[in-house]
Structure 1
Amino acid sequence: MITVFRRVLMSAILFIIWEAISKSGLFPAIMWPPLLFSSHGEATVLGTLFQGIADGRILEATGRTLSRLALGFVIAITVGLTLGYLIARFKWVDDTLGFLVSALQSVPSIVWLPLAIVWFGLGETAILFIVTIGATWTMTVSASTGFKNVPGLFLRVAKTMGSSGFHLLRTVILPASVPHLISGLRVAWAFAWRALMAGELVGASGGLGHLLEMGRALQSMDLVLSVMIIIGVIGTIIDNQVFMRMERSVMKKWGISAQL
Structure 2
Amino acid sequence: MKVVIKRILFLVVVLGIWQLVFTANIFEDIVFPSPVKVAGALYEGFSSGDLIKALGASFKHLFSGLSLAILFGTTIGVILGKSKQADETAGMYLIALQSIPSIVWVPLAIMLFGFSEFAVVFVVVLGGTFVMALNVRSAIHSVPPQLVRAARTMGTNGVPLFFRVEVPSSVPYFITGIRLAWAFSWRALMAGELL
Query: Is the shorter-chain TM-score for this pair beyond 0.5, marking a shared fold?
Result: yes
- Distance in 2 (CA, whole Å) between partners of 1:37 and 1:62 is 23
Gaps of 5+ in 1: 203-260
Structure-2 residue corresponding to 1:195:
188
Structure with greater contact order relative to length (CA < 8 Å, sep ≥ 6): 2
2:85 counterpart of 1:92: yes
Q: Please list, as runs of the form range in 1=range in 2, the aligned pairs for 1:1-260 lying within 5 A after superposition.
A: 2-23=2-23, 25=24, 27-28=25-26, 32-35=27-30, 37=32, 41-202=34-195
- Distance in 2 (CA, whole Å) between partners of 1:8 and 1:115 is 43
Question: Shift of residue 163 of structure 1?
Answer: 2.5
Q: Which digits, 9 at most, give the CA deviation of each residue in 1:169-214, with x for residues without a partner?
A: 2222122112222222222211111111111112xxxxxxxxxxxx
Q: Which digits, 9 at most, give the CA deviation of each residue in 1:110-168, with x for residues without a partner?
A: 21221221111210221111100001011111111111001011111122223233332
The percentage of counterpart residues that share the same residue type is: 39
Q: Please report the RMSD computed on the Cα atoms of aligned residues, expressed in angstroms.
A: 1.8
Gaps of 5+ in 2: none
Question: Shift of residue 45 of structure 1?
Answer: 0.8
Q: Flag as ranges the 4+ runs of structure 1 deviating above 4 A.
A: 35-38
Change (3 A) 1:11 1:166: farther
Change (3 A) 1:79 1:20: same
Counterpart code for 2:28: P
Change (3 A) 1:4 1:181: farther
Question: Shift of residue 36 of structure 1?
Answer: 5.7
Q: TM-score of the superposition, structure 2-length normalised? A: 0.91
Q: TM-score of the superposition, structure 1-length normalised? A: 0.70
Q: Which digits, 9 at most, give the CA deviation of each residue in 1:213-251, with x for residues without a partner?
A: xxxxxxxxxxxxxxxxxxxxxxxxxxxxxxxxxxxxxxx
Counterpart code for 2:5: F
- Distance in 1 (CA, whole Å) between partners of 2:143 and 2:2 is 38
Change (3 A) 1:161 1:2: farther
- Distance in 2 (CA, whole Å) between partners of 1:171 and 1:3 is 43
